[in-house]
Structures are given as structure tokens and as C-alpha cells.
Amino acid sequence: MSLVIFDLDNTLIADDSDFLWGQFLVEQGLVDSECYAKANTKFYEDYKQGKLDIVEFLHFSLKPLADNDAEQLYRWREQFITQKIQPLLLDAAQQLIAHHRQQGDTLLIITATNRFITEPIAHLYGIEHLIATTPEMQHGQFTGQFMGIPSFQEGKVTLLQQWLHTFPEESLDNSWFYSDSHNDLPLLSLVTTPVAVDPDATLRAYAVEHNWAIISLREDTCPTHHFK
């Protein structure tokens, strides 16, 4: 049995849920459309280029949570998941998850996208364990701030190490990590079996150089025959 870790955006789903949530807010008229859409796109481009200021982005992305009633936010989130996320679930990802579950592996999603957005997506895949950036709440309302360390780049490694202290029966011995992004190289380099999934150009080149497995979850065929 192994600890099997999955990135979420552009790995288990065929787009970026953080970026799509921003688009959803614009489409619903919940934020200033022109300014918010422009900033949302810029942050996403910075992310893809590996130069995202994660703290600046979190202050931007969590502000709508602070500006709205929590119960209303949960209703909007349910609409978002139905309209934007469910069509992006990947059959091959579901098969890969099922394969590892049948092996008795512990399944964990680790994502930079905040928990408010990603927790219901993890539930859609039936994955119990989730490490994500945590929005702060006080008196039942979001504050617009985040708690602890952002789950991004080296922060993912730190948060995983903290998680392993909470679950001492788990370890990185014979561990796996599936990701699409060069932003995840710190964690990919730590596990036993790093797997590049529909990788960006930088990660693909690194994976080829280091002889890592490269797979696609956006094709009709199940990729699990490559492993175990």
C-alpha cells in the first residue's frame, strides 16, 4: 500500500477551478466584470509562467468570500460545481483513482486552490484527504484572509509534512504524486514515483530529462496499465 497524491487543477479535472471560479463570479455579476476578469487572467498567466505571487493572488481571490454572506456563497458554489466542474471530470482520472483505491492505497489531493472551492471537487472523486489553502473564517463568515501556509510550490511540501505528522501511519516510502505543473516540482522531486500528467512544457522537459512517467488523463484509454 502506498500514499498516492494527486494535484487537482489540470490533472484530475480538465481546467483550473480557481480560474473558473473567478470567471463564474464575473458571469454572475458578483464582481466588477472588467477589472476582476483582467486581474484573474493575469494571475493565471503568472501561475503558468511560474512567477505567481501567491499571497497577492490569495488576497485577490478570497476577497469575494469576505464580501458576501457565507450561506449565499455555498449556494453559489453548488451552482458553480454543477455548471463548471462536473463537465470537467475525467473518466480516465476516475479509473486511475479506482485503480489505486483497489490497491489499498491512501488517496490525497494537494492543491493550491483554496478549500472552499476544492473540497466539493474532492468529494466528487470520493477522495477523503485534502490539503488546500484554507480561507479564514470568524463567527461563521469568511474574512478574506487565509490560515497558515499557502499550499503552493514549496508550501505543498511543508503542508504534506505536517499532514504526515497527523497521520503517522502514512509515509513517503513508495509514494506517488500526479501533477501537470512545473510549480509542483518541489513535491514531485520528493516522492518515490513522480508522474507528469498532461504536463506543461517545463514539466514535460524535466520529466523527459529525469525519466519520469508521462501520461494523459484526457484520452479515452485508461493509463493504469503503465503502473503496478
Residue-wise pLDDT for 76-133, tens only, equals: 999 999 999 999 999 999 999 999 999 999 999 999 999 999 999 999 999 999 999 9
Confidence of residue 225 (pLDDT cuts 50, 70, 90): very low
Q: Which amino acid is at 206?
A: Y
Name the CA dihedral angle for 55, 60, 61, 62, rounded to a multiple of 10 degrees.
80
3-state secondary structure of 105: coil
Q: Is residue 6 within 8 Å of 178, Cβ to Cβ?
A: yes
- pTM of the complete model: 0.93
Q: Is residue 193 within 8 Å of 211, Cβ to Cβ?
A: no
Predicted local confidence at residue 228, as pLDDT: 46
Predicted local confidence at residue 223, as pLDDT: 54
User: Which residues on neighbouring strands pair with residue 110, listed in sequence order?
Assistant: 131
Residue-wise pLDDT for 158-182, tens only, equals: 999 999 999 999 999 999 999 999 9
pLDDT at 221 over 70: no
Residue-wise pLDDT for 179-216, tens only, equals: 999 999 999 999 999 999 999 999 999 999 999 999 99
What's the rounded Cα separation, in Å, for the pair 119 and 141? 17
Give me the count of residues in the chain: 228
Predicted local confidence at residue 33, as pLDDT: 82
97 CB contacts (<8 Å, ≥6 apart)? 6, 12, 107, 125, 126, 127
Residue-wise pLDDT for 2-60, tens only, equals: 999 999 999 999 999 999 999 999 999 999 888 888 999 999 999 989 899 999 999 99
Confidence of residue 220 (pLDDT cuts 50, 70, 90): low
User: Which residues on neighbouring strands pair with residue 216, listed in sequence order?
Assistant: none
Catalytic residues: 7, 9
CATH 3.40.50.1000 fits 3-226, yes or no: yes
Residue ranges of the domains in the chain? 3-226
User: What letter would DSSP give residue 6?
Assistant: E
What's the rounded Cα separation, in Å, for the pair 6 and 176? 8
User: Phi and psi at residue 177, in whole multiples of 5°?
Assistant: -145, 125
Predicted local confidence at residue 180, as pLDDT: 97
Q: Is residue 154 within 8 Å of 186, Cβ to Cβ?
A: yes
Where are the strands (E) in 79-206, listed by range?
Answer: 106-111, 129-132, 134-138, 141-147, 176-179, 193-197
pLDDT at 69 over 70: yes
Over its C-alpha atoms, the chain yields an Rg (Å, rounded) of 17
β-strands 176-179, 193-197 pairing: parallel
Q: Is residue 61 within 8 Å of 47, Cβ to Cβ?
A: no
